[in-house]
Amino acid sequence: MTAATIRLHPADNVVIALADLGAGTVLPEIGVPLLLPVPRGHKVAVAPIALGANVIRYGQIIGAATQAIQAGEHVHTHNLGMGAHDTDYAFGTDLRPLPPVTEARQFLGYHRADGQVGTRNYLGVLTSVNCSGSVARFIAEACEKEDWLRDNPAIDGVVPIVHGTGCGMSGKDEGYETLFRTLQGYARNPNFAGILLVGLGCEVMQVPDLIGKGRMRGDGAFRYMTIQQTGGTRRTVEKGVSILREMAEQSAQAVRQPAGLEHLVIGMQCGGSDGYSGITANPALGAASDLLVAHGGTTILSETPEIYGAEHLLTRRAVSREVGEKIVERIKWWEDYTGRWGGEMDNNPSPGNKKGGLTTILEKSLGAVAKGGTAPLSEVYKFAEPITTRGFVYMDSPGYDPCSVTGQIASGSNLIVFTTGRGSVSGYKPVPCIKLSTNSEMYARMSEDMDIDCGDIVAQGVSLEEKGREIFEMFLATASGQRTKSEDLGFGGAEFVPWQMGAVM
Amino acid sequence: MTAATIRLHPADNVVIALADLGAGTVLPEIGVPLLLPVPRGHKVAVAPIALGANVIRYGQIIGAATQAIQAGEHVHTHNLGMGAHDTDYAFGTDLRPLPPVTEARQFLGYHRADGQVGTRNYLGVLTSVNCSGSVARFIAEACEKEDWLRDNPAIDGVVPIVHGTGCGMSGKDEGYETLFRTLQGYARNPNFAGILLVGLGCEVMQVPDLIGKGRMRGDGAFRYMTIQQTGGTRRTVEKGVSILREMAEQSAQAVRQPAGLEHLVIGMQCGGSDGYSGITANPALGAASDLLVAHGGTTILSETPEIYGAEHLLTRRAVSREVGEKIVERIKWWEDYTGRWGGEMDNNPSPGNKKGGLTTILEKSLGAVAKGGTAPLSEVYKFAEPITTRGFVYMDSPGYDPCSVTGQIASGSNLIVFTTGRGSVSGYKPVPCIKLSTNSEMYARMSEDMDIDCGDIVAQGVSLEEKGREIFEMFLATASGQRTKSEDLGFGGAEFVPWQMGAVM
Ligand SMILES: [Ca+2]
Ligand SMILES: [Ca+2]
Ligand SMILES: [Ca+2]
Ligand SMILES: [Ca+2]
Ligand SMILES: [Ca+2]
């Protein structure tokens, strides 16, 4: 059944028109006829809003009434402004605990020696530099032809982790440190049963530096070599295959065991957004995120350029001033970063956005933040920093999908969930990626790539709560081994994209 | 036979010690005993050099005598300084025409409709954005299983051109323009018989923008599609395979035909340099470059950070003030570029370099410039700009090998030659890459990856001229179809690295 409007959160004092509504339309949640027409995608007040009072969408402040608003009135630029809080970083003033859960849930995962739990069981061939990328691929391809891998149902495959950087760069700036964290993070991701690191030998990102004094993995399933020391391509491939064979034999006993949801770390992502993202897939994912967090799990919000302008709302949800201030620090960093190239941070609604019903920068950015539900913000991380707290967290990243997901996986994600309106078809080995379509038209066209259609929220009146539960159940099923569409299609071999930050020298 | 010294160019007034030479050693080219010991790698004057006169190495000025120097004297920091020309951009004052050639040479290549000639005959699957990278790979992998490709000796293969950028970027800055040129350049490289461009659909680097009003290739062998419009992964792969099959049928008649050397465009590169690079492989390549240019061909010098400090010598070789000023402009651009990240351009000899015998920044940078021989500099290009002049040219790029080669191939190179001391093992489809080792020790260890050993210049007294002819002959053989070591090993699927310049958003 198609509804005329959607309410994105129980606390909202506006609803969103799902079709052009004519004057005189009577909406059940209001009971009085609309005085004026409201276009599709625009907001209607469901209760009187006093002058200066907050307008609430997604359960979040999107601005304040610039005049008294009646129930049934169209809410847009003529009566809604940014309000006083837009330059005010309040900390922890909007902490709303999630409802307690009655039933403990589990998934079936691979328990690692360091206490992490994997949702997949891959072996990885990690590279320090582009110059060892082809050799890493040759090693993985050679392994795929071997019986010990093909006939071993315990191993999901051998994944070459290949990229375009690692040399021609400074050895001591923020770009270097970021790549360093990213490579270390992949080496430690629990979806790998073991890692072989392959370098060329003369690169800036030196293998001995990466390894440091200890090994890169607490479970010891880590080996390394350089092509120059090993004596060229053929010898390196031969030795690599033999190392991975040993690792595969050690990993062959791995079986999935029950694990609490505190071991699920889910990177949330949106890419190819459309006008439906903010009313279907993103808030539905927000509901699923709140459910997972209530069950003790962790969800990661990222993509700083897309939340720009709504950081004031995240600081209000921060569990402490210290956590909130980290968000503010990241925002300032980004203003500097984009300024170096003569650009600027700008997520203001465009004329087209405004025509579509988005009034303020808060409202636009909240379309992306909606993925993060309403849970308290428990910690803020830099790109690829190891995530050690539980709950809803923030990891800084660009909005660019493969780069942002790369950071989330380096931070420890063992599951990715990705909302898309236009239809993104990527995957991110070693971590499965669940695709949520924002609209049923795209889902119908690209159903072989999409895991869940969230367009039925609009097309069939499915509630956000119900859709949130469906997504939550898919989290658990996927974490326990059910394959996603992008895994079945074989994605994940080209999407490792470290955040390249400095000058290429 | 091992020589005690090497003269790097007939015009030089110094030679380089190939071993530690004791006081009293009599060098045949000097005839008087050395007054003091000269360490390996250091310079000895072979003729008297007056106070203020130029010291010449590689046939180029490396500085001026700060005191009168006698034949047989050690030349280093105590008697050699930068001289007056170090801040003086003179233009065209050192133009030395190459000796005329007596015999016209040819290679066997694939003549394209636009007048270019390929040295290989690949089909390419080019991507606008990382988000179509996996699908491009799926298409190429699916083709490799088809009889029409496997059984078609006229086609060298289907190459997916996959990268990490194309979205999460500004759509109007220099980074965008540079990527734009790079993708267009690959589409037009003569080593491709045809190109299929695959986009996702919603990326910043839009397929319609790339195509523009015409097609991307003059010969019409160009098709494109987006995954979102085609309806997802499986349909795109199916359609892609069918398009490439058509292209393969059209290309099946391609045969190699004689072509003049004006159709050879050779990108020169060094990576993993060592103390021998500047006395063996680089000057030998310089001799080969001069030979090719004398025969009407084109060689490209690049890697601006590595020639920094020697640009004054390139401006002197420029065929016009206009060409010389382009080098100066690029140097200023680089100073700004690295400054944005708090770095600076610095190619001064380090204490270790000085200990090894390098005295001035000119001398150090000339170790890289030596690849370019002594021919006049006929034009200067930006990264990935189409090269339309013949002769010895400069294309701006980082020193980072895969990125620099990517620019050279986008500029139209149909052959790459790469000197390496530490042992680089990369390849660059669709263009063959000839590897020159700078020392015989590494060659012995990595001979399966190296095409020519230049270490015999030191180890066996092979002359630079002779080695230059050997390299020149390999240019022609490789261009005519002889496979290089890296081609036999299957390299070239991971080394497409566009120069990513701006902020990742
Ligand atoms: Ca298996
Ligand atoms: Ca997004
Ligand atoms: Ca994104
Ligand atoms: Ca170099
Ligand atoms: Ca290089």
Whether B397 and B403 have beta carbons less than 8 Å apart is answered as: yes
Sheet architecture: strand order including B5-6: B5-6, B14-17, B43-45, B74-75
User: Which range has highest mean pLDDT (A89-103, A225-239, B54-68)?
Assistant: A225-239
CA B274 to ligand 4 centroid distance, Å: 10
Chain A residue with CA closest to B492: the answer is A134
Residues of B in contact with A398 (CB under 8 A): 168, 504-505
Q: Which of B137, B201, B505 sits opposite A305 (nearest CB)?
A: B505
Instruction: Spell out which residues of chain B touch residue A165, defining contact as CB-CB under 8 Å.
Output: 497
Q: Please, what sign has the CA dihedral across residues A276, A277, A281, A285?
A: negative
Please tell me the predicted confidence (pLDDT) of residue B86: 58
Is it the case that residue B426 has pLDDT exceeding 90?
yes
Which residues pair with residue A212 across a beta bridge?
none
User: Over the stretch A125-175, which tens digit does the pLDDT of each residue have?
Assistant: 999 999 999 999 999 999 999 999 998 889 999 999 999 999 999 998 999
Contact B234 A499 (CB under 8 A): no
* Contact residues on chain A for B492, CB-CB shorter than 8 A: 134
Give the pLDDT band of residue A306 (cuts 50, 70, 90): very high
pLDDT-wise least confident of A131-140, B27-36, B78-87, B231-240: B78-87
pLDDT at B443: 97
Closest by Cα among A492, A496, A505, A494 to A156: A492
How far apart CA B254 and CA B258 sit, in angstroms, is 13
Residue type, B80: L
Q: Is the pLDDT of residue A491 over 60?
A: yes
Cβ B30 vs Cβ B49: under 8 Å = no
Closest CA to A139 of A231, A48, A236: A236
The percentage of residues in chain A with a pLDDT greater than 90, rounded to a whole number, is 85
Partnered with residue A270 across adjacent β-strands are: A419
Q: Per-residue DSSP letters for A174-224?
A: HHHHHHHHHHHHHHH-TTEEEEEEEE-SSSSS-HHHHH-SS-SSTTS-EEE
**Å from CA of B119 to ligand 2 middle:** 43
B141 → chain A, closest CA residue: A490
Alpha carbon B414 to its chain's center: 11
Q: Does A133 touch chain B (CB under 8 A)?
A: yes
Q: Distance from the CA of A122 to the center of ligand 1, in angstroms?
A: 9
| Number of C-beta neighbours around residue B262 at 10 A | 13
Q: Residue A58, by phi and psi: left (phi above 0), alpha (psi -120 to 50) or beta?
A: left
pLDDT at residue B400 in the model: 96
Query: Higher confidence at residue A84 or residue B393?
Result: B393
ipTM of the shown complex:
0.94
Contact list, A494 vs chain B (CB under 8 Å) = 130, 133-134, 136-137, 162
Q: Do A502 and B202 touch (CB under 8 A)?
A: no
Name chain A contacts of B426, Cβ cutoff 8 Å.
Answer: 130-131, 134
Question: Which of A130, A425, A500 has its CB closest to that of B232?
Answer: A425
Distance between CA atoms of residues A64 and B215, nearest Å = 52
Chain B residues within an 8 Å CB radius of A179: none
Distance of CA A462 to CAs A2, A58, A399, Å?
9, 17, 29
B419, B421, B434 from B270: Cα distances, Å: 5, 9, 11
Give the DSSP letter string of A331-399: HHHHHHHHHTTT-----PPPHHHHHTT--SHHHHHHHHHGGGTT--EEEEE-TTPPP-S-EEEEE---S
Cβ–Cβ < 8 Å for A175, A169: yes
Measure the CA–CA gap between B484 and A203, rounded to whole angstroms: 24
pTM: 0.95
Which chain residues have CB less than 5 Å from ligand 3, an ion?
Answer: A 271, 399, 401
Residue among B68, B24, B22 nearest B45 (CA): B68
- The total of other beta-carbon atoms located within 10 Å of residue A345's CB is 18
Q: How far is residue A99 from each of residues A102, A374, B18, B333, B450, measured CA to CA in Å?
A: 9, 11, 79, 58, 66
Minimum CA–CA partner of B502 in chain A = A341
pLDDT tens for residues A477-488? 999 999 999 999
Distance in Å, CA B180 to ligand 4 centroid: 25
The Cα-based distances of B354 to A426, B40, B51, B279, B312 in angstroms read 51, 12, 22, 15, 21
Q: Which range (A72-86, A152-166, A220-234, B485-499) has the least confidence?
A: A72-86
Rounded CA separation A269/A258 (Å): 27
Q: Which of B219, B211, B140, B136 is nearest to B180 (CA)?
A: B211
Q: Which residue has the tokens 């169209």?
A: A74
Please report the pLDDT score of residue A327 as a whole number.
96
| Phi, psi for A444 (deg, rounded to 5) | -65, -40
Token pair belonging to B255:
């045969």
Res. B219: pLDDT tops 70 = yes
Question: pLDDT band at residue A218, thresholds of 50, 70 and 90?
Answer: confident
Lowest pLDDT segment from A154-168, A263-277, A451-465, B84-98: B84-98
**What is the model's pLDDT at position A131?**
97
CA of A168 to the centre of ligand 4 (A): 10
Q: Examine the pLDDT at A85 and tell me if it is beyond 80.
A: no
Q: Looking at the partner chain, which of B231, B424, B492 has a beta carbon nearest the beta carbon of A200?
A: B424
pLDDT score at A60:
87
Is some CB atom of chain A closer than 8 A to the CB atom of B206? no
Residue B31 pLDDT exceeds 90: no
**Which chain A residues are within 8 Å of B226, Cβ to Cβ?**
none
Say whether pLDDT at B90 is over 70. yes
Chain A residues with CB inside 8 Å of B134's CB? 425-427, 490-495
Predicted confidence at residue A250, as pLDDT, reads: 87
B444 touches chain A (CB under 8 A): no
CB-based contact B478:B119 (threshold 8 Å):
yes
Which three-class secondary structure string do you get for A39-89? CCCCEEECCCECCCCEEEECCEEEEEECCCECCCCEECCCCEECCHHHHCC
Q: How far apart are CA A75 and CA A365, in angstroms?
A: 18
Tell me what pLDDT residue A353 has: 86
Residues of B in contact with A492 (CB under 8 A): 134
Strand runs (DSSP E) across A200-348, as ranges? 222-226, 257-260, 265-270, 298-301
Which ligand has its closest atom nearest to the C-alpha of B401?
5
φ/ψ of A450, rounded to 5, equals: -105, 140
Least CA distance to A338: which residue of chain B? B503
Question: Is the CB of A131 less than 8 angstroms away from the CB of B425?
Answer: yes
The closest alpha carbon to B91, from B281, B295, B300, B313, belongs to: B313
List Cβ neighbours of A253 (8 Å cut-off, separation of 6 or more): A154
3-state helix, strand, coil in chain A (%, to 5): 35, 20, 45
The single-letter code of the amino acid at B152 is N
Tell me the CB-side half-sphere exposure of residue A224, using CA atoms within 13 A. 22
In angstroms, the separation between the Cα of residue B229 and the nearest Cα of chain A is 9
Going edge to edge, which strands form the sheet with A80-81?
A54-57, A60-65, A80-81
| Pair A462, A6: CB distance under 8 Å | no
Which residue among A168, A227, A423 places its CB closest to the CB of B400? A168
Q: Which two tokens stand for residue B428?
A: 């660059």
Q: What is the mean pLDDT of residues A368-384?
A: 97
Ligand 5 centroid from CA B143, angstroms = 33
pLDDT at A236 over 60: yes
Q: Mean pLDDT, chain B, as a whole number?
A: 94
What's the confidence (pLDDT) of residue B351? 86
Q: Nearest-CA distance from A233 to chain B in Å?
A: 7
Nearest-by-Cβ selection for B398 from A168, A401, A490: A168
Give the integer Cα–Cα distance in Å for A428 and B134: 10
Query: Per the structure block, which two tokens stand in for A10?
Result: 């129980």
Q: Which of A116-120, A457-461, B88-92, B94-98 has the lowest mean pLDDT?
A: B88-92
Which protein residues have their CB within 5 A of the ion that is ligand 4? B 270, 306, 399
Residues B121, B110 contacting (CB under 8 angstroms): yes
Of A168, A491, A503, the CB nearest to B134: A491
CA–CA distance, B353 with B360 (Å, rounded to integer): 10
Ligand nearest to the CA of A153: 1
Chain A neighbors of B402, CB-CB under 8 A: 130-131, 164
Give the rounded percent of residues in chain B with a pLDDT score beyond 90: 85
The C-alpha atoms of residue B261 and residue B103 are separated, in whole angstroms, by 12
Q: What is the C-alpha separation between A161 and A195, in angstroms, rounded?
A: 10
Task: Kindly determine whether residue A200 and residue B425, on different chains, have CB atoms separated by under 8 Å.
Answer: yes
Tokens of B75: 């030349």
User: A429-433, B172-176, B321-325, B469-473 — which is least confidently predicted?
Assistant: B172-176
DSSP string, B263-305: G-EEEEEE-S--TTTTTTHHHHHHHHHHHHHHTT-EEEE--HH
Strands B192-199 and B222-226: parallel
Q: Do B131 and A424 touch (CB under 8 A)?
A: yes
The first and second tokens of residue B270, run together, are 């060094």
pLDDT in tens, B235-278: 999 999 999 999 999 887 889 999 999 999 999 999 998 989 99
Q: Do B130 and A495 touch, CB atoms closer than 8 A?
A: yes
Confidence of residue A429 (pLDDT cuts 50, 70, 90): very high
Query: Is pLDDT at A88 greater than 80 in this prediction?
Result: no
Question: Least CB-CB distance to A448: which of B133, B234, B340?
Answer: B234
Task: State residue B442's pLDDT score.
Answer: 96
pLDDT for residue B213 is more than 90: no
Question: In whole numbers, what is the pLDDT of chain A averaged over residues?
Answer: 94
- A163 and chain B in contact, CB less than 8 A: yes
**Please, is A51 exposed, middle or buried when counting C-beta atoms within 10 Å of its C-beta (0-12, 13-18, 19+)?**
exposed
Q: How far apart are CA B445 and CA B423, in angstroms?
A: 9
Residue A1 has pLDDT above 60, yes or no: no
How crowded is residue A353: how many other Cβ atoms within 10 Å of its Cβ?
Answer: 18
pLDDT band at residue B49 under the 50/70/90 scheme: very high
Give me the amino acid identity at B253.
Answer: Q
In the block, residue with structure tokens 């992964």 = B233
pLDDT for residue B170 is more than 60: yes
Q: How confident is the model at residue A84 (pLDDT cuts 50, 70, 90)?
A: low
| Radius of gyration of the CA atoms of chain A, in A | 24
Nearest CA in chain A to B428: A134
How confident is the model at residue B488, as a pLDDT? Answer: 98
**Measured torsion, CA atoms of residues A314, A317, A320, A326, in degrees rounded to the nearest 10:** -10
> Would the CB atoms of A497 and B130 count as touching at under 8 Å?
yes
User: What's the CA-to-centroid distance between A347 and ligand 2, angstroms?
Assistant: 12
- State whether residue B338 sits within 8 Å of chain A by CB: yes
Enter the tokens of residue B303. 């890697």
Find the mean pLDDT for residues B354-358: 90
pLDDT at B459: 92
Residue with tokens 């308290």: A376
Options 3.20.20.120, 2.70.70.10, 3.40.630.10, 2.30.130.110; CATH for A5-81 is 2.30.130.110
Residue A346 CB neighbour total at 10 angstroms: 11
Substitution target in B127, B233, B451 with the highest count of A β-carbons within 10 Å is B233
B171 in contact with A, Cβ within 8 Å = no
